[in-house]
Chain A
Amino acid sequence: MDTIFTRGPSLNNRLALAIVLSAILIFVDHKLDGFKSTRVYLNSLVSPLQYLANLPSVLLSESADRLTSHQALLDENEELSSEVLVMREKLQRFDSLVEENNRLRNLLNVPVREALRRQAAELMAVDKNPFSQQVLINKGALDGVYLSQPVIDDQGIVGQVMEVGTTNSRVLLVADVTHAIPVRSLRNDIRFIATGSGSLNEMYLEHVPHSVDIEVGDVLVSSGLGEVFPQGYPVATVKSVTRDESRPFAQVSVTPMAKLDRLNHLLLLWLAGEGQDEILDANASEEE
Chain B
Amino acid sequence: MISKRHYAIILSILASLVLQIMPLPMQVDLYRPDWILVVLAYWAMALPHRVNVGVAFLSGLAMDILLGTTLGIHSLGLSISIYILAANYQRLRNYSVWQQAIIIGLLSSFYHLITFWVQHLLTDIYFQVDYLLPVVTSMAIWPWVFWMLRKIRRQLSIN
Contacts of A163 in B (CB 8 A): 68
A45 interfacial by beta-carbon distance below 8 Å = yes
B143 interfacial by beta-carbon distance below 8 Å = no
Total interface residues in chain B, CB < 8 Å: 47
A128 interfacial by beta-carbon distance below 8 Å = yes
B101 shortest CB reach to chain A, Å? 23
Contacts of A264 in B (CB 8 A): none
Contacts of B20 in A (CB 8 A): 128
Contacts of A52 in B (CB 8 A): 18
Contact A29 B22 (CB under 8 A): no
Given A46-B66, A177-B124, answer yes or no on A26-B73 (Cβ-Cβ < 8 Å).
yes
Total interface residues in chain A, CB < 8 Å: 46
A6 shortest CB reach to chain B, Å? 9
Contacts of B138 in A (CB 8 A): none
Contact A50 B21 (CB under 8 A): yes
B70 interfacial by beta-carbon distance below 8 Å = yes
Name A17-55 residues within 8 Å CB distance of B: 17-19, 21-26, 28-30, 35, 39, 42-43, 45-46, 49-50, 52-54
Stretch at the interface among A7-15, A113-121, A248-256, A275-283: A7-15
Cβ-Cβ contact count across A and B, 8 Å cutoff: 120
B148 interfacial by beta-carbon distance below 8 Å = no
Contact B53 A14 (CB under 8 A): yes
Which residue in chain A gives the minimum CB-CB distance to B84? A15
Name A93-142 residues within 8 Å CB distance of B: 125-132, 134
A40 shortest CB reach to chain B, Å? 11
Contact A131 B119 (CB under 8 A): yes
Contacts of A129 in B (CB 8 A): 67-69
Q: Which among A11, A26, A126, A134 is the interface contact of B52 at CB below 8 angstroms?
A: A11
Given A131-B119, A131-B125, A177-B123, answer yes or no on A53-B21 (Cβ-Cβ < 8 Å).
yes
Given A23-B72, A57-B23, answer yes or no on A128-B65 (Cβ-Cβ < 8 Å).
no
Give bound CA distance, A21 to B72, whole Å.
Answer: 8
Q: Which among A21, A126, A131 is the interface contact of B123 at CB below 8 angstroms?
A: A131
Contact A126 B75 (CB under 8 A): no
Besides A18-B54, A127-B68, 11 other CB < 8 A contacts?
Answer: A15-B80, A17-B53, A23-B76, A24-B72, A29-B71, A29-B72, A46-B66, A53-B18, A128-B24, A177-B125, A198-B125
Give bound CA distance, A270 to B19, whole Å.
Answer: 35
Contacts of A15 in B (CB 8 A): 53, 79-80, 83
Contact B56 A46 (CB under 8 A): no
Contact B70 A30 (CB under 8 A): yes
Q: What 0/1 readout, one digit per residue, does chain B (1-44) give for beta carbons within 8 Å of chain A?
A: 00000000000001001111111101001001000000000000
Name B94-152 residues within 8 Å CB distance of A: 116, 118-119, 122-125, 128, 130-131
Contact B131 A130 (CB under 8 A): yes
Contact B68 A134 (CB under 8 A): yes
B32 shortest CB reach to chain A, Å? 6
Give bound CA distance, A178 to B69, whole Å.
Answer: 12
Contacts of A24 in B (CB 8 A): 72
Give bound CA distance, A43 to B68, whole Å.
Answer: 9
Contact B75 A22 (CB under 8 A): yes
Contacts of A131 in B (CB 8 A): 69, 116, 119, 123, 125
Give bound CA distance, A46 to B62, whole Å.
Answer: 8
